[in-house]
Each structure stands twice: as C-alpha cells, then as structure tokens.
Amino acid sequence: MCRHLAYLGPPRSLASLLYEPSQSLEQQSWRPTHQREGAMNADGWGVGWWDPAVRTEPARYRTAVPMWTDTSFRSVAEVVHATAILAAVRSATPPSPIVDTGNAPFSSGPWLFSLNGFVTGFRGEIGEELRRSVSHRRAIGIEGTSDSEVLFALVLDALDAGATAAEALASVTTAVLATTDGKLNLLICDGHRITATACGNSLFTLLGDGLAAGGVLVASEPLDDHRGWTAVPPGSFVEAAIGAVRVEPLASAEGAA
C-alpha cells in the first residue's frame, strides 16, 4: 500500500509536511498508523509542488529509495516553499519493479496524480483490458508499468473529454470495479483544487487550522494529533480548495458525468 497527501494554502516549506510533523510523510514511510495492508512504504517516494510565479506546471522529484534513507532531499525541502504540494510514499504491489517511474506523483501538464491502492489482476488480462481503454494520445505518455499510470491516463482521457476532476475519478473507479476489485484511493491536483477518492483505504481532511492554517490538507492519515482531522467515509470523493471541503458519495459524481 502507499500513503499520500496534498496541500493548498499559504506558502510553506516542503519540510513542514514531509519531515517536521509528528506523523510526517517520512514517518509514514516506515511506521504508518492507519495503513490497512503492509507495514512499511519502502519502495520509493516522490513530491511535486507548484510555483505559479514561475510556471503553471509543477516541479517534481521522485526516487526509488526509501524516504527515510533519502537524506539529501531534506535540506532542499527546508528551503523550497510552495502554495500547493502533492507527495506520496510507495509500497509496490508485487511483482511491480522498484523504479522511480512507478512512483507518484505522476504528472501531465498542470496535473499531479497519486494512487493509494492497487488494481487486482493488473498483471494479467485486467491490465491489458485497461490499457486498451486508454487513448493513443495518453498511452504514449505512460513511462512505466504500474497500474497507477494506466489509471492516470484514463483519468486524463476523461478530463480531455470535458469531465470535472471529481467526475473523472468517479468514472475511472466505477469502470475498474465493474471488471475487478482493488483499493482505489485516487488523488489529483492542479495547484488550485484537490480531488480524491476514499475507496478501500483511509483518507482524512484538515481545513483551516493546525498544519492547514489558512488552507487545506487531504491525506491518507493525519500528520499530527490535531483534533480537526476528519475521516472521509468509505465510498466517497473529496473536493478541496482553500476555505472549503466538499465530501459526497462517489455515485453522485459518477451520476453527474
């Protein structure tokens, strides 16, 4: 399994989320508290962030080494500030290779994407069927072999067709679960809005207080013991922007698509 988070709000250092909280993303890489499968997330990690003063597309860093061993990046994280951040640690689903192309965040244009979960049977016919569903335009952008990239490509196809982010995540989740099972906590952000699903794994929000003062956080698990963290009900999607969090059943987004 994996752990991921996304933040929108006033400029803050990457380290303030990745390393400094009592249950930081680094801590979750080796001792998660809400993870339902697997005890560690040792198969790499990544982070992306937006600096709209420079460009609309996010910067991104990924590596296949465990986050707690990647000591060089912490000094970078302490001086890089951003108004929007998406990061994840990975526990690869066997027999997936441990390579940086398998790690979130995955990127395309202004979008960053992460999957906390897996598609059952992806290494067989299910995976082939999903790959055949991807448009040529999006298929040529797939770099690695992970189910995450194929799901992201399908989400991008839905966005290209005019769907909102919530509609895109809901439609892809519904399509996958119509043919197989799995755990499909999807997370996507364009630097202005966070959209995520709670489908098989834990998900929490924090709005306007604590680590999210003046902004909002969406994360697989709380980064500290602040009382404002709110669990997202299973089978729901979240849309979050500065000052607002909307949580609704996934079926409502699919019905609107």
Would you please indicate which residues are annotated as catalytic (active-site) residues?
Answer: 2
Quote the tokens at residue 198: 């709670």
Tokens of 66: 């465990």
Angle subtended at Cα 180 by Cα 174 and Cα 183, rounded to the nearest 5 degrees: 70
156, 138 contact by CB (below 8 A): yes
Count of alpha carbons within 13 angstroms of residue 61, beta-carbon side: 16
Across the chain, how many H-helices and E-strands are there? 8, 13
**Using alpha carbons only, what angle is made at residue 10 by residues 197 and 15, rounded to the nearest 5 degrees?**
75
Cβ distance 130 to 120 under 8 Å? no
